[in-house]
Amino acid sequence: MRVGMYYSNSKVEVEEMPAPIVGPRDILIKVIASGICGSDVLEWYRIKKAPLVLGHEVSGEIVDVGKDVAKFKKGDRVFTTHHVPCDECHFCLTGHQTACQVFQTKNNFDPGGFSEYLKVSGKSIDTGTLLLPDEMSYEEGSFVEPLGTVVRGLRALDLKPGNTLMVIGCGLAGLLMIKLARALGAGRIIATDIDGYRLEAARRFGAAHIVRADADIPAAIKAVNHGRLADKVIVCAGALSAARQSLGSVERGGTILFFAVPNPGEAVDIDLNPFWRNDVSFKTCYGAAPLDNIQAIELIRAGNIDIKDMITHRFGLQDIAKGFKTASEGKNCLKVIIKPHG
């Protein structure tokens, strides 16, 4: 079978490898749609493990089922994810599933979503593979994992109807945050980014106000929010400047969610005194647990979140290098979908 082998953002090559052999507790999926995630083009993070086959935003059709798998059958249309919690450790049992060591270290995909066929094993079958509703396309199915992470993020943020929300960074995650926050009844949504194309997308998807990241952000928020800063702030950009910017954007009693964080070793100096005095909370969020993915499927199925207008580029597997170039450069690009059989 053909795979897209990742060496670096500028070197992703189509190679041949044997199709995975399905064991009694495995399933084999014909990959129909696989999205390029922002983490896939985070080169410092990925290149240390290269060469490898990436791709974890996957949907497809089951073409082979191990004899001990009763949950699925050939022909099932599914979404699947590579990282799932153990559901047994202290962290899982106390609601912190994405802090589970199994979640963070165990990869149940062979070889990865940028391939013609994908073997899924272990708990990724039990809790990480879900049937796609008949009315949901494979392309929509490839959005379940990224939307699931956003569902988890807004739950951590405890967004309430009417809250003023500031989204820093309008890549795909930031734009999904805007769409979901609007669906959940957020009040005034303000978005900032350095890229004009993404800012205009933020406006289309529900931001009432857009601000360039090099502007005076606190002043811009106050100008449209009755002199107040934002009740909730979400950092969706990994730049150190974005993390620093969030500190001056939050109102008393508010919350900052670090959905994205700076590179390892980059520190943000914080004088905690004013945040302590003003009852400001800091939250973090990583990944998506099974419940988040289940809710993401239902949000898409019910039409509460429309993701079709977020797909800007589609490439066959033979053009995966172009797909990675497009995604890593980010020019006039929101979401790139790889279609191994298309």
Q: What is the CATH number of the domain that holds 136?
A: 3.90.180.10
Residue 191 in contact with residue 249, Cβ under 8 Å?
no
CA angle 151, 189, 234 (to 5 degrees): 50
Say if residue 89 is in the same domain as residue 113: yes
* CA of residue 96 relative to chain centroid, distance: 18
The single residue listed with the structure tokens 């730049």 is 239
Burial zone of 19 (CB within 10 Å; 0-12 exposed, 13-18 middle, 19+ buried): middle
| Angstrom distance (rounded) from CA 166 to CA 186 | 11
pLDDT tens readout for residues 56-87:
999 999 999 999 999 999 999 999 999 999 99
Using one digit for the tens of pLDDT, what is the confidence trace for 79-127?
999 999 999 999 999 999 999 999 999 999 999 999 999 999 999 999 9
- Band of pLDDT at residue 45, cut at 50, 70 and 90: confident
Q: How many CB atoms lie within 10 A of CB 243?
A: 21
Supply 161's token pair. Answer: 């109807």
Asked whether residue 260 carries a pLDDT value surpassing 90, the answer given is yes
Write the DSSP assignment of 86-135 as a string of letters.
-SSSHHHHTT-GGG-HHHHH---EES-SSBSEEEE-THHHHTSEEEPPTT
**Does one domain contain both 135 and 196?**
no
Assess contact for 238 and 261: CB atoms under 8 A: yes
**Which residues contact residue 191 at a Cβ distance below 8 angstroms, ignoring those fewer than 6 apart?**
166, 167, 170, 174, 178, 199, 202, 203, 207, 209, 210, 211
Are residues 234 and 190 located together in one domain of the fold? yes
Domain count, the chain: 2
Same domain, 197 and 84: no
Which residues neighbour 303 within 8 Å (Cβ) at sequence distance 6 or greater? none
Mean pLDDT of 249-278: 96
What is the rounded average pLDDT for all residues in the chain? 97
Q: Is residue 340 scored above 90 in pLDDT?
A: yes
Q: Residue 50 has what pLDDT?
A: 96
Pairing mode, if any, of strands 27-35 and 57-65?
antiparallel
Look up tokens 């670090």; give the residue.
Answer: 258
Q: Are residues 9 and 58 in the same domain?
A: yes
Distance between CA 195 and CA 200 in Å, rounded? 9
The confidence score (pLDDT) of residue 192 equals 98
- Confidence (pLDDT) at 214: 95
pLDDT given for residue 259 in this prediction: 98
| pTM of structure | 0.96
At 44 the pLDDT is 84
Nearest to 238 by CA among 265, 205, 217, 212: 265
- How high is the pLDDT of residue 165? 98
- Residue 220 structural domain: 153-284
Is pLDDT of 226 > 90? yes
Q: Domain check: are 320 and 252 in the same one?
A: no
Residue 42 binned pLDDT confidence (cut-offs 50, 70, 90):
confident
Question: Other C-beta atoms within 10 Å of 66: how many?
Answer: 17
Does 312 lie in the same domain as 241?
no
Residue 342 has pLDDT above 90, yes or no: no
Residue whose structure tokens are 């106390």: 94
Cβ-based burial of 219 (10 A; exposed 0-12, middle 13-18, buried ≥19): exposed
136 and 205 housed in the same domain? no
Residue 342 CB neighbour total at 10 angstroms: 13
Residues 196 and 226 in one domain: yes
Last residue in a domain, options 284, 299, 320: 284
Report residue 102 as tokens: 């199994």
- What is residue 278's three-state secondary structure? coil
Residue 236 confidence (pLDDT): 98
What is the average pLDDT across 178-195?
97
